[in-house]
C-alpha cells in the first residue's frame, strides 16, 4: 500500500506539473521569450542554459555559481540539448519529491504505530499538499536548480530518519544508508551550500536535544556526522567544515551587503532592514524578517502584482499553521523519539538562515520551498496523530 500510494501521487504530480510546464513553455514561445522565464532576460534559467551550452561546447566558464549546469550537461549529453527537456528534469525532480514525501509521511506514521487508515491519511494529505503547492508547481516549469535541490534535501531527511530508526536493518544496509546520506548531502551542498548547512544543523539539533537513546550510541552517530561535515565542504573547495566559506559570511557587513544588493531589489522587496546596533534591535528586526520569510507577504506588505500573486498560497499556509497551533494545544498520541520533529526543526532552521539575507518576497517563494515542504510533511503526520487520538477518546 505504501509504494502504491507514493507511486500514484508521483504520477499525479508529474501529470499536473507537465501540463503546467507545457502551458508556460508554449506561452513563453508565443510571447517571444524563447521558452525562458517570461518576465525579464538575464534570469537564472537563461544563465543556466548558457552555462550548460558553454560546457557542452568544450569550454569551462569562469563563473559557475553551483553544480546545476553540470546536471543539465549530463542530461543533454544523453538527450541532446533541448530547453524543454531541461525543464522536464525539474518536472521529474518535483514529482520525485512528492514520492519521497509520501513515503516519509507513511514511514514516520508507521513508527508511531498509527492505524492503517491514519497512515494513509498522513500519506494522502502529504501527497495533496506537495502536488498542489503553487510555488513548487510553478518552479517545476522553470530551468532552475530548486526542484533538484529540494528532492535531494528531502531524500537526505528521509535517509536521516532511516539511520535514526535503524531497527532490524542489517549492518550493511545501515552503512549503505550512511553512504547515500553523505552523497545527498554533497549534492545539496553543491547546489546551495547554506541549505546543506541547514540540513546539518537540523540533524545535529535533533541528535543532541531530541533523540532519546543511550549516550554511547548518540556519541557514535555524532562522530559519524562530523565526518561528512568536515569532508563535504572540503571537497567543494571551501575548507574543512566549510570554514573558508562560512566565516566571511558571518560578518554582519557582508550579510547586510547581500541583503541590500542581491535581494532587496525589485517590486517585491519588503523594505525590512536588520539592525545590528544592539541585541534588542536585532531581535526585533530579525524577527520581522523571519516572520516575513516564513509567512509573508503579510497583508500590509502587498505592494505589487508579484506579491499579490503569492498571497493565496500564503493564506493557505496561515490556515494550516492556525490549525496546527490549535492541535498542539490538545492531546495527541505520543511516541518515544518524535522523529517527525526533525522535519519541523529543519524547516525552522532553513527559514532562519535565509531570513538573514533575503528581503524579497519573490526570492522567498523559491528559498522556502524546502522548509515549507518539510513543514507540510510534519503537519500531515501531526494531523494523523490527532485523528487517531480523537478516535481513541470517542
Exposed, middle or buried: residue 303 (CB in 10 Å: 0-12, 13-18, 19+)? Answer: middle
Which ranges in 276-331 belong to alpha helices (H)?
279-295, 305-328
Residue 281: predicted pLDDT = 94
State the Cα angle at 217 between 211 and 219, rounded to 5°. 85
The band of 371, judged by pLDDT with boundaries at 50, 70 and 90, is very high
Contact 373, 101 (CB under 8 A): yes
| pLDDT above 60 (res 348) | yes
Burial class (CB in 10 A: 0-12, 13-18, 19+), 70: middle
* Among 221, 177, 176, CA closest to 203: 221
Which DSSP string corresponds to 105-146?
HHHHHHHTT--HHHHHHHHHHHHHHHHH-HHHHHHTTSS-SH
Query: In 15-52, which positions are buried (b, 16+ CB within 10 angstroms) versus exposed (e)?
Result: ebbbebbeebbeebeeeebebbbbeeeeebbbbbbebb
10-14, 35-39, 199-203, 288-292: lowest mean pLDDT where?
Answer: 35-39
Side-chain-facing half-sphere of 253: CA atoms under 13 Å: 1
Q: Name the grid cell of 355.
A: 531570513
Residues 293-331: tens digit of each pLDDT: 999 898 888 887 778 888 999 999 999 998 888 777 665
223-275 pLDDT tens trace:
888 888 888 777 777 777 776 766 666 677 777 777 776 676 556 778 888 98
Compute how many other C-beta atoms are within 10 angstroms of the C-beta atom of residue 278. Answer: 8
| pLDDT value at residue 140 | 94
Contact 304, 326 (CB under 8 A): no
What's the grid cell of residue 324? 496546527
Residue 157 cell numbers, joined: 531527511
pLDDT of residue 306: 75
Which pLDDT belongs to residue 394?
60
Say how far apart CA 112 and CA 333 lie, in whole Å: 8
Q: 369 pLDDT band (50/70/90 cuts)? A: very high
Arithmetic mean of pLDDT, 372-385: 94
- Residue written as cell 518552479? 139
Q: What is the pLDDT of residues 133-170, one digit of tens each?
A: 999 999 999 999 999 999 999 999 999 998 887 655 67
DSSP category for residue 209: I
- Which DSSP string do the residues of 28-73 spell out, in sequence order? HHHTTSTTS-TT-TTSHHHHHHHHHHHHHTT---S---SSHHHHHH
| Structural contact between residues 63 and 50, judged by C-beta atoms closer than 8 angstroms | no
Question: pLDDT value at position 68?
Answer: 97
Pick the range with the lowest mean pLDDT from 2-6, 64-68, 168-172, 293-297: 168-172
What pLDDT is stored for residue 166 in this prediction?
A: 66
pLDDT of 337: 61
Amino acid at each position: 500500500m505504501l509504494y502504491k500510494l507514493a507511486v500514484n501521487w508521483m504520477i499525479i504530480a508529474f501529470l499536473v506539473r507537465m501540463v503546467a510546464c507545457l502551458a508556460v513553455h508554449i506561452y513563453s514561445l508565443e510571447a517571444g521569450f524563447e521558452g525562458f522565464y517570461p518576465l525579464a532576460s538575464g534570469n537564472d534559467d537563461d544563465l543556466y542554459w548558457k552555462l550548460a551550452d558553454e560546457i557542452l561546447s568544450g569550454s569551462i566558464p569562469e563563473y559557475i555559481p553551483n553544480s546545476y549546469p553540470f546536471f543539465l550537461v549530463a542530461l543533454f549529453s544523453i538527450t541532446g540539448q533541448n530547453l524543454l527537456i531541461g525543464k522536464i528534469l525539474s518536472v521529474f525532480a518535483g514529482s520525485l519529491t512528492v514520492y519521497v514525501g509520501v513515503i516519509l509521511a507513511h514511514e514516520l506514521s508507521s513508527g508511531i504505530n498509527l492505524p492503517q487508515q491514519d497512515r494513509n491519511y498522513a500519506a494522502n494529505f502529504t501527497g495533496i499538499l506537495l502536488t498542489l503547492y503553487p510555488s513548487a508547481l510553478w518552479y517545476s516549469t522553470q530551468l532552475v536548480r530548486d526542484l533538484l535541490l529540494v528532492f535531494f534535501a528531502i531524500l537526505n531527511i528521509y535517509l536521516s530518519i532511516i539511520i535514526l530508526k535503524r531497527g532490524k536493518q542489517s549492518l550493511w544496509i545501515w552503512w549503505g544508508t550512511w553512504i547515500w546520506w553523505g552523497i545527498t548531502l554533497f549534492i545539496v551542498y553543491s547546489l546551495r551550500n547554506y541549505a546543506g548547512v541547514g540540513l546539518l544543523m537540523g540533524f545535529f539539533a535533533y541528535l543532541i536535544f531530541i533523540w532519546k537513546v543511550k549516550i554511547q550510541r548518540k556519541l557514535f552517530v555524532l562522530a559519524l556526522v562530523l565526518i561528512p561535515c568536515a569532508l563535504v565542504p572540503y571537497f567543494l573547495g571551501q575548507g574543512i567544515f566549510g570554514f573558508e566559506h562560512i566565516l566571511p559570511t558571518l560578518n554582519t557587513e557582508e550579510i547586510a551587503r547581500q541583503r541590500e544588493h542581491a535581494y532587496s531589489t525589485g517590486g517585491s522587496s519588503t523594505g525590512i532592514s536588520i539592525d545590528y546596533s544592539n541585541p534588542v534591535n536585532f531581535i526585533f528586526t530579525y524577527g520581522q524578517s523571519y516572520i516575513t520569510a516564513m509567512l509573508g507577504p503579510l497583508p500590509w506588505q502587498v505592494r505589487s502584482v508579484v506579491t499579490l500573486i503569492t498571497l493565496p498560497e500564503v493564506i493557505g499556509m496561515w490556515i494550516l499553521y492556525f490549525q496546527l497551533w490549535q492541535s498542539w494545544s490538545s492531546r495527541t498520541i505520543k511516541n518515544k523519539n518524535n522523529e517527525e520533529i526533525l522535519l519541523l526543526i529543519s524547516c525552522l532552521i532553513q527559514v532562519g538562515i535565509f531570513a538573514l539575507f533575503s528581503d524579497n518576497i519573490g526570492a522567498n517563494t523559491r528559498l522556502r520551498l524546502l522548509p515549507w515542504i518539510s513543514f507540510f510533511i510534519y503537519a500531515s503526520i501531526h494531523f494523523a496523530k490527532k485523528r487517531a487520538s480523537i478516535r481513541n477518546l470517542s
